[in-house]
A and B are shown apart, each in its own frame.
Chain A
Amino acid sequence: MGIWFKWNMFFTSFLPLWVSIIISDLWNIVVKLNALYTSNTEKKVITVKTVLCTISIESLMILILLICSIISIHAINDIIKTQRSAEFHERGIIKRAKRGNKLTAEFLLAYILPMIAFDYSDIKSILLFLIYFVVLTFLCIRNNNVYTNIYLEFMGYRMYECDIECSTMNGSHIYTDSLVISKNNLTQTIPQEIGYFDFDNYIYIEI
């Protein structure tokens, strides 16, 4: 579940980029179709094949992004719902909490850069973006970098940098500078016990 959940978190954190690309591609489709009809001065019959060939790259991009986004959103919802259904959750005590503001800046940098740097109607640009995205995915999943997740933000979750004390075996351990994603204001009461599910020793979602 760990890598699958991290991938979904990573993919959905780029939702604004995917929405921007879809809008940009839709725009291109409209422009290309318009050009196709206006250039058809001899009133020839425009076949479906011709239309599809003209907008194939954009259509494919939109389709792939929509399918991946739906799968990722569904998977996140499914995992959170499954974890919530547990009778008892693992518990930890928040010893220090701070709003994770700097994560937002990292996130903006990560998604604005590809938006302005690549042309998503051009195969060469798409290939270059794929290389950039695959490398970024590999590094982020391997090193547990979680950006502000716009989908979770819409769901009411916020990110906190916390020190959390968790009991393990016959003792306890404080995980410092952990990322806790919670719907509650964790800075309000410290120390505070929370129920969570974790997909890494330093990343927790409050249940």
Chain B
Amino acid sequence: MSKEYLKSLVQTAKEQDYTWSLYFFKISHQKKGNPYYVYKIKFKNVTYLPQYAKSLCDFVSKYQIDPLENVHDYDGMNSKTSCDKIKVNNELISEQWNYFFTSVTNAAREEVKGNYQGYILDGQPVHEEDKPITFVKIGNPIIKIENNKSVVFRHVENVELEQFSDDLCRLYLSTDFLVIEDTLYSFNLAFEGIFEMEKTMRRLKDIAIDKIIETNAFYEVEKVTSFMKSYTSPKTFLTLKQQRLDKLNTLEGRSEIANRLQLSTKDSAEIIIDTQEKANQLIKYLCYKIFQDKETDNLIEVNSVLNDNVLRRK
């Protein structure tokens, strides 16, 4: 789905007839089960929310979608010039998304005590042909004016000052991610935190390691498993591709990989991994995080390639 398509959906939400609802949410990941507490907000003046929603759509379109270079599938890295998309039923977030959805459908009307972690602006189209759109912003919208460091006053009539201690609510004209139909479009990686993806990724890392080990491509399997489990960034495994696993399954493939990564082999081309560094390099290769520079034959990490992009230099 292209950037233009995403922009057209946000523009539709701005121009067409939508009903808008605002929810504040709080997350408590320590508790088992559904960690989201959602509170539906009502406005005294019914025009405030539609006005805010239209401004938000306008700003998101102008300042968040226009500067994008492309929209691509979530791979754990956000280059700031791209928007990541991920299906809400993707195993990485589906469980947490379902909890999130359930909490919104059963949102409380009485204030949920404590600090909020963010807010949700949900737009439902009046006309069937338009699509529902949900904006999510991470950050407490409630600003407590009163604190130990200062006293706040406000101007009232006759240029007099009156002490002011009410809490304020600030809604931003930007979003961290938005959901249209069953796809989540993220402008940064903030959604990883609210959907507790670290935990899911650790689980995926274990599955990925099992798949790598199942190829029987290694000498001293237990050692290799232990090195792989000690690899610190589970996010890397998101880009593990079957193509590279298939390569590990064949003798020629193993030899080629060993050659490329300068690893030694035993009989029947069993790859010897005897240091953590070698294990890290193999993982990065299998997950497309390192490439071979055709000019120098050196192995280069993806991050270095991105950082070395001359077009980005000022």
Contact = CB atoms under 8 A, between A and B. Distances in A.
A83 B124 CA distance: 17
A106 interface: no
B88 interface: yes
B21 to A, nearest CB: 7
A170 B182 contact: yes
Contact of A169 (B17, B19, B50, B104): B104
Interface stretch (B39-47, B241-249, B254-262): B39-47
Nearest to A82: B46
Most buried by B among A82, A89, A171: A171
B124 A170 contact: no
B179 A169 contact: yes
A88 B17 contact: yes
Nearest to B107: A201
The main secondary structure of chain A at its interface with chain B is mixed
A90 B22 CA distance: 12
A83 B110 CA distance: 19
A171 B180 CA distance: 10
A121 B110 CA distance: 37
Contact of B101 (A90, A168, A201): A168
B109 A90 contact: no
A2 B101 contact: no
A166 to B, nearest CB: 8
A30 to B, nearest CB: 44
Interface string A147-179: 000000000000000000011111101000000
Given A88-B50, A169-B179, A170-B134, 14 more contacts: A1-B42, A2-B110, A85-B46, A86-B47, A88-B17, A89-B19, A167-B132, A168-B21, A169-B122, A169-B134, A173-B105, A199-B109, A200-B109, A201-B109
22 contacts: A1-B44, A2-B110, A82-B44, A82-B45, A86-B47, A87-B17, A88-B17, A88-B18, A89-B19, A90-B21, A91-B19, A166-B105, A167-B132, A168-B122, A169-B101, A169-B120, A169-B122, A170-B88, A170-B134, A170-B180, A199-B109, A200-B109
9 tightest A-B CB contacts, nearest first: A2-B109, A86-B46, A173-B105, A1-B42, A169-B134, A88-B19, A167-B124, A168-B105, A90-B19
